[in-house]
Structure 1
């Protein structure tokens, strides 16, 4: 493995960091959307109370 070029290791590191950031963003926005939908449902239920 050490005979490989440093550019390959650098690209591998960048790809791993990029994938981690992407996964974190997807998880974060998924949780954010779920919480917003829950809030919308509760507010819509409260709006229809007489």
Structure 2
């Protein structure tokens, strides 16, 4: 049984790292999309509406 503990911890650690990496990738992708969307919205607002 003592041999099972390090294995389960390493699996938990790997799962945590994978989740963290995926979250970072998704967040950066979402931020990039948001910036593009905001830039597009600002562009369309400035062309559509004369402020």
When normalised by structure 1's length, the TM-score is 0.83
| Gap regions ≥5 residues in structure 1 | none
| Gap regions ≥5 residues in structure 2 | none
Give the structure with the larger helix fraction. 2
When normalised by structure 2's length, the TM-score is 0.82
Q: Which runs of 4+ in 1 moved over 4 A?
A: none
